Each structure stands twice: as structure tokens, then as C-alpha cells.
Amino acid sequence: MIPPYAQRGQPIPPSSFNALIDMVKAAQLTSVVGGTFSRSIGGTTITITSQSTGSGGAASQGAGCQYFEVTDASEGEVLKVEVAQNQIANRWPEGMGIGNPPFILELSGSSYIYAAIYWDTVNLVIGPDADAITILQSNDLLANTSTMQYILLATVTVTGSPPAITQIDNVCTQPVPNPCLLDWSTPAP
């Protein structure tokens, strides 16, 4: 539908105004597949529901991720995840790259998988060393420091006896390094 036009200085006829309202209503969201939405005066919020499923150590992400997808790579009772290889800021994280073997992290329990980025805060650039960008696991949430930015890639839930990976929630977005997110309240060492 083409929006109605009015001439400058002329009143808008009710039929044109009603056509404009109909056009806005036709473009309005009414449902979301795979999530929920809520409408308020401030706008519409869409929440995508995680599609993670799994049992007995066979956790998987429903549709897959384009960036750094974390999948269950456990061997027997040894808990492991594989992190899909990709670049951050046109650089390969340490241990990743074309022709490299799968990137595997061993877990000791429920974990957070992070991209850790070291910043040269004098020049506001990612550090030049090969290990300036790494992928790591932590049993605790990590906060950014004055030189390190931690970008969450996935959370891994381990339950049961013997322990098994029962859920993996991937973030599925490209990590974006940003020195503004460092903790500037403490000076660099």
C-alpha cells in the first residue's frame, strides 16, 4: 500500500488518515515464532527463546550458531565442549585458525565459555601478542578488568551423577571488542 500524501497547508482528509492507520496496523507484529514479544508505549520488545535441548550428555543447539557455537564433545565421563572456530576483529583466537584441529575445552562442571581480549590501553588497541585473544572456560562469571574484556559465548549446564552436560545456551552473536567496556575505575597494572 502506498502511503497517502497531503498537500502542504491543506487539511488531511479522513480517508487518507484512516489509510495511514491501516498501513501501520498491517506492519505491526502480532506474534513471534520461537519467542515472545511485549508491546508498551516505548515500543515492542522481542525475546527469542533458546532452542537448547538435550539429555544424558547429548546437549545441542537447535538451529546452530554462526559464531563460536559451543557443542558437547564429552568422551565418556570426561566433560568437554568444542568451540566452533571463527575470528574476532579479523584475528584468530589463540589455538584457532584454518587447518587447526577442533578447539576443545575440558570442563570441571557447569561453566561459562568466554572470548577473553587483552587491551593495550595506552594505544587503545587489542594487544599484539598471539594470545591477546583467547577462548576460555570459567566456573564463575568474569567481570571486565582494566585491561581484559570478557565476552560471553555460551553457558554450559552440568548435572547428574555421573556428571553430564545437559544444556548448552549459545549466545550466537559475533563478539565485538570494545575498550569502552573495560573497568576504567582501576588503573592498569
Three-state SS letters, the chain: CCCCCCCCCCCCCHHHHHHHHHHHHHCCCCCCCCEEEEEECCEEEEEECCCCECCCCCCECCCCCCCCCEEECCECCECEEEECCCCECCECCCCCCCCCCCEEEECCCCEEEEEEEEEECCCCEECCCHHHEEEEEECCCCCCCCCEEEEEEEEEEEECCCCEEEEEEECCCCCCCCHHHCCCCCCCC
Whose cell is 573495560? That residue is 182
How crowded is residue 57: how many other Cβ atoms within 10 Å of its Cβ?
18
Q: Please check the confidence at residue 189 and state whether its pLDDT lies above 70.
A: no
Query: Mean pLDDT across the chain, nearest whole number?
Result: 83
Q: Please check the confidence at residue 64 and state whether its pLDDT lies above 70.
A: no
Amino acid at 140: D
Q: Please check the confidence at residue 51 and state whether its pLDDT lies above 60.
A: no
Query: Domain spans of the chain?
Result: 14-48, 70-181
Write down the pTM of the prediction.
Answer: 0.66
* 100-121 residue pLDDT tens: 999 999 999 999 999 999 999 8
Which residues make Cβ contacts (< 8 Å) with residue 1, sequence separation at least 6? Answer: 19, 22, 23, 26
Q: Give the pLDDT of residue 32.
A: 64
